[in-house]
């Protein structure tokens, strides 16, 4: 596993009718410190990574190769274990 990796989040499928609108205010209230990529109205970033449900995680190596995807609520411990396996 690499000793370092970057973690980014994507704000996508945002709707004014949802309780987390606007996403920027919701993320600030939640204390979110991970860098956020804001998707366009066509959800291009989500589509590019194959997002189908929320939450969704994609593991990408330094060359831009998708190494794995995860969907659903996953405890951080499980994400770290999966990261260990994916980036061997």
Residue 1 belongs to a domain:
no
Asked if residue 16 has pLDDT above 70, the reply is yes
DSSP for residue 36: E
* CATH assignment at residue 77: 3.40.30.10
- Among left, alpha and beta (phi > 0; psi -120 to 50; other), residue 40 is beta
Residue 3 belongs to a domain:
no
Count of domains for the chain: 1
Per DSSP, the three-state class of 55 is coil
Residue 49 belongs to a domain:
yes
Q: Which domain holds residue 22?
A: 9-86
The residues that bridge with 30 in the sheet, in sequence order, are none
pLDDT of residue 4: 66
Reported as a single tens digit per residue, the pLDDT across 26-69 is: 999 999 898 899 999 999 999 998 888 888 888 888 888 887 78
Is the pTM for the entire model greater than 0.85? no
Residue 82 belongs to a domain:
yes
Residue 18 belongs to a domain:
yes
Residue 70 belongs to a domain:
yes
């Amino acid at each position: 596993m690499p000793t370092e990796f970057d973690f980014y989040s994507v704000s996508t499928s945002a709707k004014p009718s949802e309780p987390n609108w606007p996403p920027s205010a919701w993320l600030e209230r939640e204390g979110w410190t991970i860098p956020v990529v804001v998707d366009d109205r066509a959800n291009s970033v989500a589509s590019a990574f194959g997002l189908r449900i929320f939450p969704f995680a994609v593991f990408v190596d330094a060359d831009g190769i998708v190494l794995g995807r995860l969907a659903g609520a996953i405890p951080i411990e499980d994400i770290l274990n999966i990261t260990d396996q994916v980036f061997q």
